[in-house]
Amino acid sequence: MKNPGVAVASASAPLCLVDPSMCAARTAVAVAVVVMALLAPALAASPEAPPGAASCSGCHASGAKVDTPVPRLAGRNAADVVAQMQAFKTGQKQSTVMDRIAKGFTDAEVEAIAAWYAQQK
């Protein structure tokens, strides 16, 4: 079930033909299901995650205990993470992907994200 909302919406089509009032009700349910599916990953991370943190946590796990080949950020010193991001931006630090990613974030955003990661266990 990749997209439950679509399944619900298409299942309601025959009912719409019989009773048009069913269309609105079924569509509302379908929309609610889709919205919940979209919100679930965001809620799973942490409610206090600053803007942009979710774009990092796809690669850098938000928990320090997760086994991953990508360098750990969870529980790391925030100033160290900020300094590394600066080095990626300027090209001082070699990278495969982080130079491009770092350029997409302002210093304030990086500081907020680094502070958030520092608090993750």
Binding site for ligand HEC (CB under 6 A): 52, 55-56, 58-60, 70-71, 73, 81, 84-85, 95-98, 101, 105, 113
* 78 neighbors 117 (Cβ within 8 angstroms): yes
CA–CA distance, 39 with 27 (Å, rounded to integer): 18
Nearer to ligand HEC, 30 or 81 (CB): 81
Query: Shortest approach of ligand HEC to residue 119 CB, angstroms?
Result: 14
* Cβ neighbours of 84 (radius 10 Å): 20
CA–CA distance, 32 with 58 (Å, rounded to integer): 25
Nearer to ligand HEC, 4 or 71 (CB): 71
Query: In the bound complex, which residue of the shown chain has the CB atom lying closest to ligand HEC?
Result: 56
Query: Shortest approach of ligand HEC to residue 121 CB, angstroms?
Result: 18
Residue burial 90-115, b: 16+ Cβ < 10 Å; e: rest:
eeeeeeeebbeebeebeeeebbbbbe
Nearer to ligand HEC, 52 or 63 (CB): 52
Query: Shortest approach of ligand HEC to residue 25 CB, angstroms?
Result: 40
Using the structure block, give the residue that is written with the tokens 């302002």. Answer: 106
Nearer to ligand HEC, 30 or 102 (CB): 102
Query: Shortest approach of ligand HEC to residue 10 CB, angstroms?
Result: 34
